[in-house]
Amino acid sequence: MSVVLYGCETWSLTLREEHRLRVFENRLLRRIFRRKRDEVTGGWREMHNEELHNLYSSPSIIRMIKSRRMRWAGHVAKMGETNAYRILVGKAEGKRPLGETRRRFVDNIKMDLRIMGWDGMDCIDMTQDRDQWRALVYTVMNLGFP
Select from 62, 1, 63 the least CA-distant residue to 29: 1
Measured distance CA(79)–CA(2) in Å, rounded: 26
- pLDDT (0 to 100) of residue 19: 93
Residues of the chain with pLDDT under 70: 89-92, 119-121, 143-146
Distances (CA, A) of 48 to 19, 44, 57, 65, 143: 16, 13, 15, 23, 21
pTM: 0.72
Write down the domain spans for the chain: 12-55, 61-144
